[in-house]
Amino acid sequence: MSQSPQSNPNATEISETPYGNAAGFARYLKYDIISGLLVFLIALPLCLAISMASGFPPVAGVFTAIVGAVLTTFLSNSELTIKGPAAGLIVIVLGAVQSFGHTGGQDPTADMKAYQMALAVAVVAGVVQILFGIVRAGILGDFFPTAAVHGMLAAIGCIIMLKQLPVAVGQSAKGEPFEILKELPDKIAHANPEIAIIGVVSLLILFGLPWLKSRFSKKSLIQVVPAQLIVVLVTIPLGIWFNLSEEHTYSWAGATYTLNDKFLVNVPNNLFSAIMHPDFSVFSNPELKGAAIKWVVMFALIGSLESMLSAKAIDMIDPWKRKTNLNRDLLAVGIANTIVAMIGGLPMISEIVRSKANIDNGARTRFADFWHGAFLLAFVALAPTLIHRIPTAALAAMLVYTGFRLASPKEFMNVYKIGIEQLVIFVTTIIAVLATDLLIGIAIGIATKFAIHLINGVPIQSFFKPFLEVQTRGDNTVVINAKGSAVFSNWIPFKRQIEQLGLVQKNNVIVDLSGTTLVDHSVMEKLHEMELDFHQAGLEFEVIGLDAHQQFSEHPYSARKKGMARIRRITVVTSSEIEKQLESAMVDMGATGFTCIPCRGVGRRGLAEGHVAEDQVRIEAVVPSEIAERILAYVRRNIAPEYPVTACIETVEVISREQFEPATLAETVTS
């Protein structure tokens, strides 16, 4: 669906939807090449950092970004995603090489063998992803509940921070997450001071620049310059000042420390000499075969899931609302992963941070991804010596920052706002992943969601099968009546029915959920996405029948259970002189109605002063929480200073919540 230039801040010069075809390559070259350049500045240090943290040679991550950019640009229809190595896969790749005998640099021969075995695993996983695309398995991404997936990503963020914080201060970290956490204070206490200076300066830049950018105009230069680039520009001179390229010792606070080029990124002068090939003997080795198969599953499943979620997230913020064919994109990523693993690269996905930067920098088509890969190739081919000057502590700091963003307090708050049950699933998944591994952890998260659904009365027979009745109306409209439940585990057949009857057969669709016991958050969120799909297709999509369902929170996409709906009632007792003023203010702030009762009374201060009861008015309004708080703030600010007033807010249950919500409430909450 086309979007006008006025509604799209990145489209002031064009009016139609841009696509990455032959004509689009030339027409949008200026926008795509500029965005590609700016994304390259972010991608270079991150590719190096992710590769080193994964136990691969630093240049392996660059190989991945280059191959991904070149191949997927032409194989996928995802217009604005950037393909490359991702922090979310560090835990998997590092786990694989360690299970194959990686020593962390103590035995280079063993490390190389483990690296090549991991490449073999990545090749097979890439083939599995190709098969996923061929059999149209992209829809499986809809099975995993949102809270469990976010919990898995947050756990990955915690693991990245735990493993990279010691590296940022000149130490190393091995073992399970809770073991590293236990040893972390000692690691920091015995930090290499000069390396720690580089790491701390890097962290200050990474965490401080977003705050600084918020103080400047959006058109200023500081908004364009990536924090990662500033880190590189600052820490390379610091590394030269500390003479990291030559082995020497120095004293600090009575202790002696050693510095050498192991604290710098190690890349070959000849790019072709870094090419490595997989060692498929891992699949014939009886001692390693089981582990190899496990990691194939992890690479293919988690990598595919992360890639699909990232592609869907970028589609949601694409200024032109273009839709990625997830099966085609999965096929493209699988082909690229198979090829890049054959030459020594890391696994790739659609990477969310670089893709978001791609949009922010004004990219129009998928050729922005191509240009970011071209700049990477040119840089590593022509300036490998400059890459060797980058301190590893700076790259570790970048990963600490990336891990923090995956597991930031905002993530916990966002999940909590959706519902307390979502927070339980989220936190359970985090703890389970940290205590076990990714597959077991997300399985425990999903099991937790099933348990919560059972507690909320979801019939077992409707866990995996939606009970749907279809009615056809004469106005080109189909009504789908859902019975039992509408939850994440039965959404896939539910979605197929909606798509077949609506998008394929070109009908308007009404989904009636009045017969359901529970509609969970995942389905509420996906119904909203479905509404956007219908809108783009020029069709109507409506969800009805939730009047008798109780929301688990004020969030518009929270889970809903059949029963009385909870909402807030605000009661204000004050002078009858300002009755009209207060009624008008309540309506202006979103109240859909009110009750006014004349009364007489006197407050504590009046009793103390000997006053008798006076004419007053009691005004009540049943409203959502945010509107109740807004009215209460108005009473404190505008009424209480001049008039005696009593106000209170209480939770009440109503038959239907929707009659008390203003039409703009969902938009207000979402924004």
User: CA-CA distance, 198 to 264, in Å (whole number)?
Assistant: 12
Closest CA to 359 of 71, 8, 15: 8
Q: Which fold has domain 564-670?
A: Alpha-Beta Plaits (3.30.70)
* Residue pLDDT, tens place only, 521-559: 999 999 998 998 899 889 999 999 988 888 888 898 999
* Main-chain phi, psi angles of 324, to 5 degrees: -80, 135
pLDDT digits (tens, 9 = 90+) for 479-491: 999 999 999 999 9
The alpha-helical segments, DSSP class H, found in 383-468 are 384-388, 392-406, 409-418, 420-435, 438-455
Element holding 541 (H helix, E strand): strand 541-544
What does the alpha-carbon distance between residue 272 and residue 264 come to, in Å, rounded to a whole number? 21
Distance CA(499)–CA(221), nearest Å, equals 45
Cα–Cα separations (whole angstroms), residue 95 to 159, 292, 395, 662: 12, 11, 20, 51
At 664 the pLDDT is: 55
Specify the CATH number of the domain 460-561. 3.30.750.24
For the record, the structure tokens of 550 come out as 């109780």
Whole-structure pTM value? 0.82
Cα 397 from Cα 85, distance rounded (Å): 17
User: Would you give the distance in Å from CA 75 to the centre of its chain?
Assistant: 24
pLDDT at 451 over 50: yes
SS3 category, 568: strand
User: What number is the average pLDDT over the span 75-94?
Assistant: 94
The DSSP code for 13 is: S
Q: Check residue 98 and give its pLDDT.
A: 94
Q: Tens digits of per-residue pLDDT, 55-70?
A: 999 999 999 999 999 9
Closest CA to 76 of 261, 406, 323, 247: 323
Q: Are 470 and 479 in contact (CB under 8 A)?
A: yes
According to DSSP, residue 16 is labeled S
User: 303: helix, coil or strand?
Assistant: helix
Report residue 14's pLDDT band, with 50, 70 and 90 as the boundaries: very low
Give the separation between CA 98 and CA 535, rounded to whole angstroms.
49
pLDDT computed for residue 34 by the predictor: 95
Is pLDDT at 158 greater than 70 in this prediction? yes
**Local structure of residue 76 (DSSP, 8 states):** -
What is the number of other CB atoms lying within 10 angstroms of the CB of residue 90?
A: 27
Round to whole Å and give the CA distance between 48 and 59. Answer: 6
* Phi (first) and psi of residue 300, to 5 degrees: -70, -45
The average pLDDT across 174-184 equals 90
C-alpha distance from residue 567 to each of 165, 521, 652 (Å): 45, 19, 6
pLDDT one-digit tens code per residue, 377-392: 999 888 888 999 999 9
Domain boundaries, the chain: 30-196+243-410, 415-455, 460-561, 564-670
Please give the share of the chain, as a percent, with pLDDT higher than 70. Answer: 96
Residue 541 bridge partners (DSSP): 509
Per-residue pLDDT averaged across 332-361, rounded?
95
What span, in angstroms and rounded, lies between the C-alpha atoms of 566 and 500?
A: 36
- Assign 595 a pLDDT band (cuts: 50, 70, 90): very high
Centre a 10 Å sphere on the Cβ of residue 447 and count the other Cβ atoms it contains: 14
User: What type of residue is 411?
Assistant: E
393 close to 198: Cβ distance less than 8 angstroms: yes
Distances (CA, A) of 301 to 98, 154, 392: 20, 17, 30
The 10s digit of each residue's pLDDT in 424-449 is 999 999 999 999 888 899 999 999 99
HEC readout, 79-93: CCCEEECCHHHHHHH
Label residue 12 by pLDDT band (50, 70, 90): very low
- The pLDDT of residue 8: 43
Tokens found for residue 484: 């039992």
Q: Which of 197-201, 214-218, 324-328 has the lowest mean pLDDT?
A: 214-218
Mean pLDDT value across residues 380-405:
93
Task: Tell me: pLDDT of 110 over 60.
Answer: yes
Q: What is the pLDDT of residue 475?
A: 83
Q: Which amino acid would we find at residue 553?
A: S
Give 3's pLDDT tier (boundaries 50, 70, 90): very low
pLDDT of 254 higher than 70: yes
58-75 helix and 326-342 helix, angle to the nearest 10 degrees: 140
Mean pLDDT of the chain: 90
Residue-level pLDDT at 225: 85
What percent of the chain has a predicted confidence (pLDDT) above 90? 72
Closest CA to 49 of 37, 65, 68: 65
Cβ-contact 362, 10 below 8 angstroms: yes
Query: Which pLDDT score is estimated for 214?
Result: 80
Q: Are 571 and 648 in contact (CB under 8 A)?
A: yes
> What mean pLDDT is predicted for residues 207-221?
81
Name, in order, each residue with C-beta under 8 angstroms of 219's C-beta and a sequence gap of 6 or more: none
Residue carrying structure tokens 């204070």? 185
Q: Render pLDDT for 641-670 as a digit per residue (tens, 0 to 9).
A: 988 899 999 988 887 777 888 865 444 333
Classify 655 in phi/psi space as left (phi over 0), alpha (psi -120 to 50) or beta: alpha
Rounded Cα gap, residues 214 and 234, in angstroms: 21
C-alpha dist (Å) from residue 326 to 71, 89, 159, 505, 552: 16, 19, 29, 21, 31
Closest of 126, 46, 142, 41 to residue 90, by C-alpha: 46
Name residues whose C-beta falls within 8 Å of residue 581's C-beta, 6 or more positions apart in sequence: none
Q: How far apart are CA 434 and CA 263, in angstroms?
A: 28
Distance of alpha carbon 247 from alpha carbon 268, whole angstroms: 19
Task: For residues 612-623, give the mean pLDDT.
Answer: 90
CB neighbours of 426 closer than 8 A, spacing ≥ 6? Answer: 147, 148, 150, 151, 154, 411, 412, 415, 445
Half-sphere exposure of 605 (CA within 13 A, CB side): 4
Residue 555 to residue 532: CA distance in whole angstroms:
19
Residue 243 carries which DSSP code? T
Spatial contact of 301 and 144, defined as CB atoms under 8 Å apart? no
